[in-house]
């Protein structure tokens, strides 16, 4: 069945670079969208399409693709980047959306 797989947890030192991945066969034909969710808050759109950032999203957030894997890279991680990150995409051939299980980013 269609699904998106994310690592449950990742940690990174303040100021370093981290890559969060999202793997799924449907990503071969669809873009991934990335959301950030801080504790107790609603999700916020980070990236959509091929590396498109909404206004207000810092350019330290970027996206890339390789095969069936989409990646979110945060360059120069800040303390406020500590959050859950979700990828999202369409299921190929039907109108249905799916989310990855989410990655909890801890900033050390």
Partner 1 sequence: EVQLLESGGGLVQPGGSLRLSCAASGFDFRASAMSWVRQAPGKGLEWVSGISVTGGGTYYAPSVEGRFTISRDNVLNTVYLQMDSLGVEDTALYYCAKDGYNLGDFFDFWGQGALVTVSS
CA distance 7 to 59: 23
**Nearest residue (CB) to partner 1, 43 versus 71:** 43
Closest among 45, 57, 56 to 85, alpha carbons compared: 45
Among 9, 13, 14, 97, binds partner 1 (CB under 8 A): 97
Minimum CB–partner distance for residue 31 and partner 1 (Å): 9
Cβ of 37: how many Cβ atoms within 10 Å?
A: 15
- DSSP for 18-51? EEEEEE-GGGGTS--EEEEE-TTS--EEEEBTTT
Question: What is the x/- site pattern for partner 1, positions 54-93, by CB under 8 A?
Answer: x-----------------------------x-x-x-x---
Does 39 bind partner 1 (CB under 8 A)? Our answer is no
Q: Which residues bind partner 1 (CB under 8 A)?
A: 33, 35, 37, 42-45, 48-49, 54, 84, 86, 88, 90, 95-102
């Amino acid at each position: 069945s269609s699904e998106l797989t994310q690592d449950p947890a990742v940690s990174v030192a303040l100021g370093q670079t981290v890559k969060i991945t999202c793997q799924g066969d449907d990503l071969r034909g669809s873009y991934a969208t990335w959301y950030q969710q801080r504790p107790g808050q609603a999700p916020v759109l980070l990236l959509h399409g091929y590396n498109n950032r909404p206004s207000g999203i810092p350019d330290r957030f970027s996206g890339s693709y390789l095969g069936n894997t989409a990646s979110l890279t945060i360059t120069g991680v800040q303390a406020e980047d500590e959050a859950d990150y979700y990828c999202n995409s369409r299921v190929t051939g039907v109108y249905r959306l799916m989310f990855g299980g989410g990655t909890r980013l801890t900033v050390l």
